[in-house]
Structure 1
Amino acid sequence: MASNSMQITPAMNQVIPNELWVSLESNGSTMMKAVRASHAPDGRKVDVKPMLRIIDNILLRAAPAIVEGTYEDKGLLEEEIFSRSDVDAKLKTLASIIKKVSSELFSHNNLILSGTFKANSNVNQTIIPYGMDCKCTCSGGRDVHATIMMLLDTLSSYSWDAKVVLTVAAFIVNYGHEFLLFTSSEAKNSALAQSLAFLKQLRDITDHAKFSKAKIDAITKLIKGIMAVTKYIVELHNLPPESIATDEAPMSNAMAYIPKAAYWTMLSVVICASYIASLSGSEETTELLDLSRLASEGSKMLVILKSYKTIYKEYEDEKCKTAYWDLVKTFSSTHSDNMTVLKTLLLAKDGKQHLVGHTSKRIHIEELREKHVFLLASGLDISKEEIDILGKLYQEAKSKGEVQYEVVWIPVVEKTISWDQEKQQKFEQILAMMPWYAMPEPSKIKAEVIKYIKNEWRFENKMILMPLDRQGKVGSLNALDMLLVRGNKAFSSIYNEKEESIWEAQQTWTLELLLGGIDNNFSLVLDWTKQGTIVCLYGGEDIEWIREFTKATKDAVKNISSGTSFELVYVGKNNAIKEVENIIKTIDDENLSRYWNDLSSIWFFWTRLESMLYLKMQQCKNLKNDRIMQEVTTLLSYDDSDRGWALFCKGSEMALAQGDVALKSMKEFSTERKDADLFQAVSNYIKKSQKIQRCSRIILSGDRQEIPSKKLSSDGCECSMEKCFVYRCCADK
């Protein structure tokens, strides 16, 4: 046990010598040259963001003021972080290096805290770790720099951002719990905290709070600066590689500044660790000068790092603006083939010219030369149903050989959102469902390309399909509508810009127009009508109405003419795939009716109706006199009502009714004499009941450009529909 009559040494004060301050102000100092010379990265990539979140979480509970305004996801719970297996695996690979850095930090503080010091008269004895040398043998300032160089040597093979984050993580591992004891009011009153303080030989934390607030506030301020500077180092270091590698300003200046910022961060960590360790001492001996000066230097660095980020953004914006107009010019020019356009559009930031398929097979962009190409633009929220239907069209074109085209997926991802492992996995999952090719790395799609797609192709959230002919000329905007309505038969119209020809074969409202296409469920319904079967398609999400309507329909069918068959099929609801899944389960469990068990068919049915509406909006001059337009609008408006709807079909005739009218028609027919003509009776009842209907609405997915100055109206309603906006977070709610 050490003697109580000891004297404080300069090492305890950890005064930073002037040469270190000079080094922080000069890029060419001997110390900074040594810092840069220690950097020998071996190319390993470390995703430091999960570790930053964990550090943030620890500090959030230890001292919330430190993380306030520093990290977006400061409220992330520990279980949410560790529940992800990929994060857990990443952290395990770094555990050993964090332990090693922690050991070096701890050994540094054993050294600087060694020496003699005088005990407080209110404390019986001061306990010194076993085996500690009580004689200070070296200068504190030199020890600080030596410790930092030792850390830099240990972390020499890591990138600058990883060096900093690993050092901060080691600091939090060693000193986070002690800092919590001194800063948390709850901890000071906790029996557990008092017990931990005793076991760690910390002075009574309740008494400590009376006279150490200034020191704690100074440490808190410095740690807040450490976290802020660390964040900017990570952000700058994780900018696109082609930006970091450039020798041009501003990035060359920013990259040259990062080692100095990293040195300041590590210096501050070492000093903070020493000061927190000194909180277990028996007297207020530590000066606050260095803490304040370090925090001040950190504030200066923060301003410089922020300015580099701002300058970089302005620099990139200017580059993007120039590249954007070059892209516009390229698309508006005439070319001998499609290569100029495709390479300008699909060439990655790093200059790579290949595309990747679902089997990981890669092809060179040159393989698309002189081919018709559909460019599929979508976010990572593209659905399986969308991919399935478009995939059927693509495979049909390949197998029949009547038309030939290739499809290339361009994932549109906001450049302001970082590309992490989770997004990469999502991208790979989507690509695995696609039978065509895609740009291999969404994070490397050029910013001007994303801007062009949004501005010139009017892309928002829903996928679009842009056709390029063999000379690289863009055909009809968003060929998806035409393909969904007429399948690959629309191919020639897409490239010849003859949208009106899409309706030439079907000028009247028939079930074949409504259900024409590649879907097997559609074909089965059409086969029934050709055989003379009366078919009733119905939809909605009110399960009580569905139960009532299907029961009434079954009762009514008992009275139909002998030899006449009847089929009842549930076709879902627009923009409500999740709800439809649950309804289908109920229909199946209770044996209420037939249904389309393929959700892709349901998505296709409703999206195809919307596509008909949009194409008509582009073509028709007098919408109120167009039968197809009126029927499509009416069906979409019925679908958006609180109750369901029903469409009765016999041969080429159809009768569409709102849910309540359809239900009443079935109930009325069930009371009539047997062998009556069900379709004729229902059709007459619908015409009598729906001469004038109440006002309705249509909710369409996305804000389509075809509609702005147009007004819709549904059959039987004399009012026009005004366009409004509905914002919702999920189309399935």
Structure 2
Amino acid sequence: MASNSMQTPAMIQVIPHELWVSLESNDSTMMKAVRASHAPDGRKVDVKPMLRIIDNILLRAAPAIVEGTYEDKGLLDEEIFSRSDVDAKLKTLASIIKKVSSELFSHNNLILSGTFKANSNVNQTIIPYGMDCKCTCSGGRDVHATIMMLLDTLSNYSWDAKVVLTVAAFIVNYGHEFLLFTSSEANNSALAQSLAFLKQLRDITDHAKFSKAKIDAITKLIKGIMAVTKYIVELRNLPPESLATDEAPMSNAMAYIPKAAYWTMLSVVICASYIASLSRSEETTELLDLSRLASEGSKILVILKSYKTIYKEYEDEKCKTAYWDLVQTFSSTHSDNMTVLKTVLVAKDGKQHLVGHASKRIHIEELREKHVFLLASGLDISKEEIDILVKLYQEAKSKGEVQYEVVWIPVVEKTVSWDQEIQQKFEEILAMMPWYAMPEPSKIKAEVFKYIKNEWRFENKMIFVPLDRQGKVGSLNALDMLLIRGNKAFSSLYNEKVESIWEAQQAWTLELLLGGIDNNFSLVLDWTKQGTIVCLYGGEDIEWIREFTKATKDAVKNISSGTRFELVYVGKNKAIKEVENIIKIIDEENLSRYWNDLSSIWFFWTRLESMLYLKMQQCKNLKNDRIMQEVTTLLSYDDSDRGWALFCKGSSEMALAQGDVALKSIKEFSERKDGDLFRALSNYIKKSQKIQRCSRIILSGDRQEIPSKKLSSDGCECSMEKCFVYRCCADK
């Protein structure tokens, strides 16, 4: 195997003085030529997946390069490699990356072994690709000519795509070389020596130690390359209307990007050259060039960061006037709802239509003088949430007692790029909805986005904002009110007093607990009307569930044949995945009945939280409120390590117990064989509640309106202390 030991010619200054002078001026002949090479043809390239892959490579080859470069430092998701859309995007770019790779230094071809072959006029001399860029390699092309060739190859691409494709080509060709030397530096000599043996680069460890100053300088420069690349991509991915403006500061920022791109490509060419020459001693001019390039990159980075900051301030200032106009619009009286709806729903480009599934469209005018709900949510809205809203919507349509329309406003942070993956997610969600949505959520006006977050207190949890026929906003608690009372709550939505929803419901009954539109709820209510004793139970401790259901079945054998008993599992709050697994076990082992529709389980627990929130806002003595006490107790039992059970007889007789108490009460009944099952269980539970038991409630953290109330639960005289709990996953 031939050795690649290098006979390096004498080095001369790689980056000439004239280039430095031209780089410092925006109006130099060189920069004019750079701008003139740009001839975009409208093709769109999503560079972010490629940037993440580059990031991932560098994270493993040289972690110091990536550290601190990205605000989102997360490792590359393995799923990205299995995503068909990403794979298709990268396939279309593979050929251009290869072309850029081959042109980094040579007009002709780049030999994979790490050498250039000169043209026939240079006697076919094998020239190392690490030699000086002003040598006769490739017909005598210098570093600027190389960059202009790259710009010509990439002329049809946007500036951010030019930069990312060049960096990708650099990583593809020279990443393994850099890994070879940095691995040795990281004391991973086994890897370095193995690679060196295969590449026939002898004594690499000694060379790497000898070139440590150059390795450090290259690492610093590559870190700068990645940082500048990130900001170029961020600026180029700002809203299209911002990029197209001729107004400062964005026009200045867009004019500066070509200079930043040129610096990035220059740095890539120089880094590639010097990485190839790491196995020989460094020249003073090399370290000076690397240091000066890094310094210039720092200046460029500061300017790009300032443009991003200025853009934010500029947009905030523009939004300020429009925002207060929007506030004024909502606080004014109108003859119909069109003024409000058009202010909110008309996109930045002036389009006045809404889109439904299967590409159906309607004009906003079709909502004139109708009651409209604005559903604001992220793209993480769950199927269970949508299912319940659909049931409410379809019930209103079928019964005709109250008619309203719904418009979905997908709220996505402006920092999120609206790519193919997000568009697909948007379409999947819209397909589950029988109503309409804003067609291009990325074009929601900034002032509308700000108003939804500030005035309607939107964070992560969906909100359901009612507008009457004149565009007047109803209660921001509308969703909670509808979940509790269904469409019957409609008349209360525009009543300023929260207490109005409770006027028709003062007592704690099974109808309140299971009211609404769910078929599973209705079945349980029908059983109790027929005299059946019903036990609703929940939790995620499968061993307790097995023991409790067995003990209950044994106890039921002792009651009279005329008394019917039903046992129903209703899950656990915020634990859908765990509940799914438990339901499978309950079904396989025939432990009890269960609600097989997860929407019913979500609805059951969400309604309880809605009751709690609305009661907390009444600002009354909550300790004497029976409904509040029962809801608080049930939610606190759900957050215990064991399960819980609620025994129901008729509409108003209910006995709620923590898991261990419920199990002991049912076992005691079996031992004593008392005649009246419900009375025996109820008496035992009341007796056990005299023993102090402390408890807790974990509420959704995306509720801004949670007041500082003192809550208490059954079995403890102390008030609950309000505190914060941070969890990495809510579905636990």
TM more than 0.5: yes
Q: Does 1:427 align with 2:426?
A: yes
Residue 53 of structure 1 contacts residue 73 of structure 1 at CA under 8 Å; is this kept in 2? Answer: no
Residue 62 of structure 1 contacts residue 183 of structure 1 at CA under 8 Å; is this kept in 2? Answer: yes
TM-score, structure 2 length as denominator? 0.89
Deviation at 1:79, TM superposition (A): 4.7
Q: Residue 265 of structure 1 aligns with which residue?
A: 264
Residue 17 of structure 1 contacts residue 141 of structure 1 at CA under 8 Å; is this kept in 2? Answer: no
Cα pair distance change 1:594/1:408, threshold 3 Å? same
Q: Residue 323 of structure 1 aligns with which residue?
A: 322
Other structure's SS at 1:16 match = coil
Q: Residue 499 of structure 1 aligns with which residue?
A: 498
Q: Which moved more, 1:497-506 or 1:582-591?
A: 497-506
Cα pair distance change 1:570/1:122, threshold 3 Å? same
Other structure's SS at 2:92 match = helix
Q: Residue 179 of structure 1 aligns with which residue?
A: 178
Other structure's SS at 2:493 match = helix
Other structure's SS at 1:688 match = helix
Other structure's SS at 2:567 match = strand
Residue 536 of structure 1 contacts residue 646 of structure 1 at CA under 8 Å; is this kept in 2? Answer: yes
Deviation at 1:207, TM superposition (A): 4.4
Deviation at 1:32, TM superposition (A): 1.6
Deviations 1:116-171 (A, max 9, x none): 99999999999657999999659999632222222111111100011111112212
Other structure's SS at 1:538 match = strand
Q: How far, CA to CA, are the matches of 2:509 and 2:310 in structure 1?
A: 61
Q: Residue 163 of structure 2 aligns with which residue?
A: 164
Q: Residue 242 of structure 1 aligns with which residue?
A: 241
Deviation at 1:12, TM superposition (A): 5.3
Deviations 1:234-283 (A, max 9, x none): 11111111111111111110100111111122222223333334456799
Residue 57 of structure 1 contacts residue 76 of structure 1 at CA under 8 Å; is this kept in 2? Answer: yes
Cα pair distance change 1:509/1:673, threshold 3 Å? same
Residue 567 of structure 2 contacts residue 593 of structure 2 at CA under 8 Å; is this kept in 1? Answer: yes
Deviation at 1:480, TM superposition (A): 0.7
Residue 109 of structure 1 contacts residue 273 of structure 1 at CA under 8 Å; is this kept in 2? Answer: no
Residue 2 of structure 1 contacts residue 127 of structure 1 at CA under 8 Å; is this kept in 2? Answer: no
Deviation at 1:629, TM superposition (A): 2.5
Q: Which moved more, 1:711-720 or 1:124-133?
A: 124-133
Q: How far, CA to CA, are the matches of 1:409 and 1:5 in structure 2?
A: 66
Q: How far, CA to CA, are the matches of 2:45 and 2:591 in structure 1?
A: 56
Residue 410 of structure 2 contacts residue 438 of structure 2 at CA under 8 Å; is this kept in 1? Answer: yes
TM-score, structure 1 length as denominator? 0.89
Cα pair distance change 1:178/1:654, threshold 3 Å? closer
Deviation at 1:225, TM superposition (A): 2.4
Cα pair distance change 1:432/1:727, threshold 3 Å? same
Residue 532 of structure 2 contacts residue 566 of structure 2 at CA under 8 Å; is this kept in 1? Answer: yes
Other structure's SS at 1:106 match = coil
Q: Which moved more, 1:425-434 or 1:400-409?
A: 425-434
Residue 202 of structure 1 contacts residue 279 of structure 1 at CA under 8 Å; is this kept in 2? Answer: no
Q: How far, CA to CA, are the matches of 2:283 and 2:197 in structure 1?
A: 19
Residue 109 of structure 1 contacts residue 274 of structure 1 at CA under 8 Å; is this kept in 2? Answer: no
Residue 6 of structure 1 contacts residue 116 of structure 1 at CA under 8 Å; is this kept in 2? Answer: no
Cα pair distance change 1:534/1:312, threshold 3 Å? same
Q: How far, CA to CA, are the matches of 1:186 and 1:257 in structure 2?
A: 37
Deviation at 1:608, TM superposition (A): 1.1
Residue 226 of structure 1 contacts residue 265 of structure 1 at CA under 8 Å; is this kept in 2? Answer: yes
Q: How far, CA to CA, are the matches of 1:407 and 1:117 in structure 2?
A: 65
After TM superposition, the structure 1 = structure 2 runs for residues 219-298 of structure 1, keeping only pairs within 5 Å, are 219-279=218-278, 287-298=286-297
Q: How far, CA to CA, are the matches of 1:569 and 1:234 in structure 2?
A: 55
Deviation at 1:484, TM superposition (A): 0.9
Q: Residue 460 of structure 1 aligns with which residue?
A: 459
Q: How far, CA to CA, are the matches of 1:344 and 1:4 in structure 2?
A: 69
Residue 353 of structure 2 contacts residue 361 of structure 2 at CA under 8 Å; is this kept in 1? Answer: yes
Q: How far, CA to CA, are the matches of 1:361 and 1:424 in structure 2?
A: 16
Q: Which moved more, 1:325-334 or 1:679-688?
A: 679-688
Q: How far, CA to CA, are the matches of 2:366 and 2:118 in structure 1?
A: 81
Deviations 1:629-679 (A, max 9, x none): 222222222322333222222224222233233222222222x67682222
Cα pair distance change 1:661/1:586, threshold 3 Å? same
Cα pair distance change 1:617/1:17, threshold 3 Å? closer
Residue 116 of structure 1 contacts residue 135 of structure 1 at CA under 8 Å; is this kept in 2? Answer: no
Deviations 1:308-341 (A, max 9, x none): 1221122223233333323222211222222222
Deviation at 1:393, TM superposition (A): 0.5
Q: How far, CA to CA, are the matches of 2:447 and 2:129 in structure 1?
A: 64
Deviations 1:71-130 (A, max 9, x none): 345562585542333222211110100111111124159899999999999999996579
Other structure's SS at 2:654 match = strand
Deviation at 1:532, TM superposition (A): 1.4
Consecutive unaligned residues of structure 2, counting only runs of 5 or more, are none
Deviation at 1:349, TM superposition (A): 3.3
Q: Which moved more, 1:39-48 or 1:623-632?
A: 623-632
Deviation at 1:222, TM superposition (A): 2.7
Cα pair distance change 1:334/1:118, threshold 3 Å? closer
Residue 533 of structure 1 contacts residue 566 of structure 1 at CA under 8 Å; is this kept in 2? Answer: yes
Q: How far, CA to CA, are the matches of 1:311 and 1:48 in structure 2?
A: 24
Deviation at 1:479, TM superposition (A): 0.4
Deviation at 1:601, TM superposition (A): 0.7
Deviations 1:557-599 (A, max 9, x none): 1222232211111112222222222222222222111111111
Q: Residue 389 of structure 2 aligns with which residue?
A: 390
Deviations 1:412-449 (A, max 9, x none): 33334444444333333322222222223333333333
Cα pair distance change 1:127/1:75, threshold 3 Å? farther
Residue 4 of structure 1 contacts residue 125 of structure 1 at CA under 8 Å; is this kept in 2? Answer: no
Deviations 1:385-426 (A, max 9, x none): 111111100111122222111112222333344444443333
Q: How far, CA to CA, are the matches of 2:250 and 2:669 in structure 1?
A: 78
Q: How far, CA to CA, are the matches of 2:710 and 2:250 in structure 1?
A: 52
Q: Which moved more, 1:530-539 or 1:645-654?
A: 645-654
Deviation at 1:60, TM superposition (A): 3.1
Residue 105 of structure 2 contacts residue 146 of structure 2 at CA under 8 Å; is this kept in 1? Answer: no
Cα pair distance change 1:149/1:11, threshold 3 Å? farther
Residue 65 of structure 2 contacts residue 219 of structure 2 at CA under 8 Å; is this kept in 1? Answer: yes
Q: How far, CA to CA, are the matches of 2:543 and 2:56 in structure 1?
A: 48
Other structure's SS at 1:541 match = coil
Cα pair distance change 1:137/1:451, threshold 3 Å? closer
Residue 396 of structure 2 contacts residue 487 of structure 2 at CA under 8 Å; is this kept in 1? Answer: yes
Q: Residue 360 of structure 2 aligns with which residue?
A: 361
Residue 406 of structure 2 contacts residue 436 of structure 2 at CA under 8 Å; is this kept in 1? Answer: yes
Count of residue pairs the alignment pairs up = 731
Other structure's SS at 1:348 match = coil
Deviation at 1:509, TM superposition (A): 2.1
Residue 461 of structure 1 contacts residue 702 of structure 1 at CA under 8 Å; is this kept in 2? Answer: no
Deviations 1:465-507 (A, max 9, x none): 1111111111111201111111111112113446444334433
Q: How far, CA to CA, are the matches of 1:4 and 1:620 in structure 2?
A: 82
Q: Which moved more, 1:649-658 or 1:234-243?
A: 649-658
Q: How far, CA to CA, are the matches of 1:675 and 1:695 in structure 2?
A: 30
Q: Which moved more, 1:227-236 or 1:207-216?
A: 207-216
Q: How far, CA to CA, are the matches of 1:45 and 1:364 in structure 2?
A: 29
Cα pair distance change 1:732/1:687, threshold 3 Å? same
Other structure's SS at 1:527 match = helix
What fraction of aligned residue pairs are identical, expressed as a percent? 95
Q: How far, CA to CA, are the matches of 2:552 and 2:3 in structure 1?
A: 98
Q: Which moved more, 1:565-574 or 1:413-422?
A: 413-422
Residue 103 of structure 2 contacts residue 109 of structure 2 at CA under 8 Å; is this kept in 1? Answer: no
Cα pair distance change 1:572/1:104, threshold 3 Å? same
Other structure's SS at 1:184 match = helix
Q: How far, CA to CA, are the matches of 2:630 and 2:431 in structure 1?
A: 38
Residue 39 of structure 1 contacts residue 152 of structure 1 at CA under 8 Å; is this kept in 2? Answer: yes
Q: How far, CA to CA, are the matches of 2:423 and 2:119 in structure 1?
A: 59
Q: How far, CA to CA, are the matches of 1:214 and 1:506 in structure 2?
A: 78
Residue 201 of structure 1 contacts residue 280 of structure 1 at CA under 8 Å; is this kept in 2? Answer: no
Residue 63 of structure 1 contacts residue 183 of structure 1 at CA under 8 Å; is this kept in 2? Answer: yes
Q: How far, CA to CA, are the matches of 2:132 and 2:697 in structure 1?
A: 82
Deviation at 1:383, TM superposition (A): 1.6
Cα pair distance change 1:55/1:639, threshold 3 Å? closer
Q: How far, CA to CA, are the matches of 1:238 and 1:76 in structure 2?
A: 22
